[in-house]
Amino acid sequence: MEGFNSNNQKAYLSLRVETKVPADNSKSLWEEIRTTGHHPTRRSYHSAVMWGDKMVIYGGQDLKEGPQSGMWMIEISQFDQGDWEEMKIPDIGPLCRHTAVLKGDLMYLFGGTNSHREFNRTLVYNLRTLQHREIVPDNPQIPPALDSHSACLYEDGTAAWMIIFGGYSIGERTNNVYLLNLNTEKWKQAKISNGPEPRSNHSAIIYRDHMYIFGGTSDEGEKLNDLWRLDLRTYAWENVVGIGNVPSGRSGHSAIVFMGHMILFGGMKDITKETNDMYSYNFATSEWVMFQYEHQIKDPVSNEQLEEFKKSRISPNKHANPPKSPMIKKSTAELSPGQSTMRKNTDSSPPDTINPKKKKTLYEGPPCQTSGRIRARPPHPRDGHSAVYSGNIMIIFGGDRHQMPFNDCYVYFLVENTIKTPINIPLS
C-alpha cells in the first residue's frame, strides 16, 4: 500500500487491537484459593474428581521427592471453601499418572505407576465410607499395565462404563480402547481401526455419545494438536478438522465440558515450555476460540528464598552419592524415539509398598498464611495439573512448571460469552 510505512503499520495494528479485537478479560474471572492448616504436598499427574461440592485428589508425583500416596478432600462452592482434609485410608503405596472416574459415591482408580512398575489394577473407593476394594477381573480382555492414559465415565442408558484410551504400556505408547462395565465389573476391548496414533498425556472428555481426544505426546516425542471423535455406539473414529484458532500441540493439559463447549487449559508445548492459555471448542460448529492468552505470573517465592533453599539441599559432602529421583519427567513423558519407559527398581523394598523418604521442599503451600480468595489471579503456566468443574466453576489444582510442582488451587468462573469471544495476543 503506497505511503503505508512501518510506523503506520504499527499504529494500524495497535488501533486494530484496541478497537476491533476484544481485550483478554478472562484474567478477572480467576480466583486463587488459599487455606490455612494442613494441606497436600506439591504434586502433579495426580487424579481428581468432583464429589458434590468436594474436590477429591489422589496420589501424584513430585519429581524430586517421588510419587505420592494418600487422598485429600476440600469443599469448594461458588463463593466459599473449607480447609483441606487428609482422608484416613489404608496406605497402598505411592501412585501417579493413573486415572479416576466417579459414579455416585464410588471413585474408580485405574493403572498408574509408582516409578518402579506400572499397574493395571482397578481400585474402588467409597467416598462416603472410605472403604476400598480391588476389582479382580475374570475375563481375558483386561487392559495391560498402563500409565499416562485417559479415563472417562460414559453412561448409555443400560450401563455405566469407564473408558480407557492410550497411554504407556510396557514402554510403548498405545492407542487401544478398553471399557469396564461398572455394573458387571467386566472388561472388554473395543474393536476399532483407523484411529488416532498412539499417544500419552492427552485429554479426553465425553459429549453426547462420543469421546473426544485432543493432543498428547506421540512416539516421536512430538506435541500433538489433533482432535479425534470416537462414536461410542459404533466404535468408529473420526479425525475432526476444526476451524478458527486451533490450539498448538501440547500434552499434560486439561479439558472439561461446559455449555456445548470443550474447555482446554494449560499443558506443555515443549520441554520447559508450559502454558496457561485457554481455548474453547464448539461441538456444534467445530470452531476453536482462544479466550485467554498466556500470562506470566510472578513466582510465589523470592530469589533470596530460592537461593537459601538451594543451599539447604546441599549435603556436607556434595560429592558423595546423591539420592536419585525415583522418577524424572523425561522418562515418562518426553522420550526420544527408541527409549524404554521400563522403571528400574533401585530399592530393596517390595515395589507395591515403596514410600519415598520425604525431604525439605521449598513451596509447601500458599505463599502466605491467609485464608480466602485472591481475585484476578490466574494460575502459573503448568502441565500435569487436574481440572474438575461444578456448575459454572472450574477448579485447577497442582501440576508443575520446569519440574517444580505446585499444590496451589484456583477457581475459574465459566461465562458463556467469554468462552465464545476470541482475543488476540498483545503486540510486543
Q: What domains can you pick out in the chain, each with its CATH number?
A: 28-300+373-420 (2.120.10.80)
Average pLDDT of the residues of the chain: 83
Smallest CA-to-CA distance from 110 within 176, 54, 55, 178 is with 178
In this prediction, what percent of the chain has a pLDDT beyond 70?
77
Per-residue pLDDT reduced to its tens digit, 253-276:
999 999 999 999 999 999 889 999
Per-residue pLDDT reduced to its tens digit, 87-96:
999 999 999 9
**pLDDT value at residue 353:** 37
Contact 54, 71 (CB under 8 A): no
- Is the confidence at residue 125, as pLDDT, over 80? yes
Contact 44, 400 (CB under 8 A): yes
Taking the C-alpha atoms of residue 299 and residue 425, their distance in angstroms, rounded to an integer, is 22
**pLDDT value at residue 138:** 84
Task: Show Cβ contacts of residue 378 under 8 Å, excluding neighbours closer than 6 positions.
Answer: 26, 27, 30, 276, 292, 295, 297, 410, 412
Taking the C-alpha atoms of residue 387 and residue 376, their distance in angstroms, rounded to an integer, is 18
Residue with cell 481426544: 213
Taking the C-alpha atoms of residue 214 and residue 369, their distance in angstroms, rounded to an integer, is 38
Contact 35, 375 (CB under 8 A): no
Task: Show Cβ contacts of residue 127 under 8 Å, excluding neighbours closer than 6 positions.
Answer: 51, 56, 102, 105, 106, 107
Q: Give mean pLDDT, residues 268-286.
A: 96
**pLDDT value at residue 408:** 94
Read off the amino acid at residue 345.
N
Taking the C-alpha atoms of residue 247 and residue 254, their distance in angstroms, rounded to an integer, is 13
Q: Which range is least confidently modeled, 52-56, 134-138, 245-249, 355-359?
A: 355-359
**pLDDT value at residue 312:** 56
C-alpha cell at 419: 468462552
C-alpha cell at 403: 519440574
**pLDDT value at residue 299:** 62
- Is the confidence at residue 43, as pLDDT, over 80? yes
Per-residue pLDDT reduced to its tens digit, 366-392:
444 467 888 999 999 999 999 999 999
Residue 163: how many CA atoms within 13 Å on its side-chain side?
Answer: 25
Contact 412, 291 (CB under 8 A): no
Taking the C-alpha atoms of residue 363 and residue 301, their distance in angstroms, rounded to an integer, is 8
Taking the C-alpha atoms of residue 230 and residue 209, their distance in angstroms, rounded to an integer, is 8
Predicted confidence band at 414 (pLDDT cuts at 50, 70, 90)? very high
**pLDDT value at residue 166:** 98
* Global pTM exceeds 0.85: no
**pLDDT value at residue 80:** 84
**pLDDT value at residue 306:** 52
Q: Give mean pLDDT, residues 328-337.
A: 35
C-alpha cell at 413: 468462573
- Is the confidence at residue 313, as pLDDT, over 80? no
Q: Give mean pLDDT, residues 243-249.
A: 98
Question: How far from the centroid of its chain's Cα atoms is residue 118's Cα?
Answer: 19
Q: Return the H-helix or E-strand segment holding 308.
A: helix 303-312
First-last CA distance in the chain: 23
Taking the C-alpha atoms of residue 90 and residue 92, their distance in angstroms, rounded to an integer, is 6
Contact 231, 209 (CB under 8 A): yes
Q: How would you label 349-366 residue by residue, b for 16+ Cβ within 10 Å and e otherwise? A: eeeeebebeeeebbbebb
Q: Return the H-helix or E-strand segment holding 394.
A: strand 393-397
- Is the confidence at residue 124, as pLDDT, over 50? yes
Predicted confidence band at 305 (pLDDT cuts at 50, 70, 90)? low
**pLDDT value at residue 324:** 31
Taking the C-alpha atoms of residue 411 and residue 406, their distance in angstroms, rounded to an integer, is 15
